[in-house]
């Protein structure tokens, strides 16, 4: 491979976002972080990722401000990886991927996890695009401006 292309300067927020979290593992690491995973070995065991890859990815995500390291919350001398505010901003990306997966990649009755409201255990509602004033919008109602 020649050096992997960077998309940072494309003027498109989608491209720039993918430049940060668009590789194979980053979003899975972030998903696990949302589910409460914090320690190196937890990520490694949960994802089945090679340790070298995980170390590289965690370093990258910390460097990009998506994760931060913190002293272990259980009082041990180890460190933990926690989402920054920027990282927590990716929640809707994970939710959108989840809802698409649920809608198009599972047969009815197939076992899968669900995102539920913690207080009631009721599945959350579907994401919906709305205008600035709150009116529901479809894809065909929108366009992307030239940058």
Partner DNA sequence: CATATGAAGTCTCATAATGAGACCACTTGC
Partner DNA sequence: GCAAGTGGTCTCATTATGAGACTTCATATG
Cα separation, 114 vs 5, in Å, equals: 35
Nearer to a second copy, 74 or 103 (CB): 103
Q: How far is the CB of 131 from a second copy (least distance, A)?
A: 5
CA dihedral 105, 54, 43, 67 (to 10 degrees): -90
By a kind-dependent CB cut-off of 5 to 8 A, residue 146 interacts, out of DNA, a second copy, none, with: a second copy
Question: Would you give the distance in Å from CA 146 to the centre of its chain?
Answer: 27
Q: How far is the CB of 106 from a second copy (least distance, A)?
A: 7
Given the structure tokens 């899968």, which residue do they identify? 112
Q: How far is the CB of 83 from DNA (least distance, A)?
A: 16
DSSP state of 13: H
Q: Which residues bind DNA (CB under 7 A)?
A: 1-5, 23-25, 39-42, 48-53, 55-56, 58-59, 72, 76-80
By a kind-dependent CB cut-off of 5 to 8 A, residue 80 interacts, out of DNA, a second copy, none, with: DNA
**Which CA distances in Å does 122 have to 49, 114, 117?**
32, 9, 5
By a kind-dependent CB cut-off of 5 to 8 A, residue 6 interacts, out of DNA, a second copy, none, with: none
Given the structure tokens 């910390």, which residue do they identify? 62
């Amino acid at each position: 491979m020649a050096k992997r292309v960077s998309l940072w300067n494309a003027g498109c927020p989608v491209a720039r976002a993918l430049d940060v979290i668009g590789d194979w593992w980053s979003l899975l690491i972030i998903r696990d972080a949302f589910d409460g995973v914090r320690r190196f070995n937890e990520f490694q065991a949960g994802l089945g990722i090679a340790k070298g890859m995980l170390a590289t990815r965690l370093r990258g995500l910390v460097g990009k401000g998506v994760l931060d390291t913190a002293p272990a919350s259980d009082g041990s001398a180890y460190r933990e990886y926690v989402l920054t505010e920027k990282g927590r901003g990716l929640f809707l990306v994970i939710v959108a991927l989840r809802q698409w997966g649920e809608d198009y990649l599972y047969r009815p009755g197939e076992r899968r996890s669900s995102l539920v409201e913690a207080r009631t255990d009721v599945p959350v509602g579907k994401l919906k695009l709305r205008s600035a004033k709150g009116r529901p919008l479809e894809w065909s109602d929108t366009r992307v401006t030239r940058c």
